[in-house]
Amino acid sequence: MTNVSSDAESIKSTVVSIIDQNKGHDIVTFDVQNKTVIAKYMIIASGDSSRHVKALAEHVIKSLKQYKIDVEGMSEGNWVILSFQDIMVHIFRPEVREYYNIEELWS
């Protein structure tokens, strides 16, 4: 039997690494399993532009294509949400991230 928690932990590390390698920045992770049922981990990161935000999301999707990933916001590229395997990934343009300030909800 696989340990679901360590799988999520491993995927979380992979996502952070992919975003970091592709010049995403201000990456933060939250363990939210005791705060919500929608995910175990929340990853929040920034890209420099709409194009960069979309590219970061595409790198994550391509690298984790074995999972079914729900994607929201890809067409605009201001705030892309990826949801899969108990993980939610939010990738923002910096000014959009600052405006919504979702870190405050989870910290």
CATH of the domain at 55: 3.30.460.10
Residue 82, both tokens: 């990826």
More confident residue, 59 or 102: 59
Q: Please state the three-class secondary structure of 57-98 as a single string.
A: HHHHHHHCCCCCCEEECCCCCCEEEEEECCEEEEEECHHHHH
User: Is this prediction's pTM over 0.85?
Assistant: yes
Please report the pLDDT score of residue 107 as a whole number: 77
Lowest mean pLDDT among 1-10, 56-65, 94-103: 1-10
DSSP annotation of 42: E
pLDDT band at 105 (very low <50, low <70, confident <90, very high): confident
Strand order of the β-sheet with 25-31 is 25-31, 41-46, 87-92, 79-84, 70-72
More confident residue, 107 or 78: 78
Contact 93, 77 (CB under 8 A): yes
pLDDT surpassing 50 at residue 1:
no
Number of folded domains that form the chain? 1
pLDDT tens-place string over residues 30-40: 999 999 888 99
Distance CA 53, CA 25 (A): 11
Backbone angles phi, psi at 88, to 5 degrees: -115, 130
The mean pLDDT value of the chain amounts to: 92
- Print the domain residue range for 85: 4-106
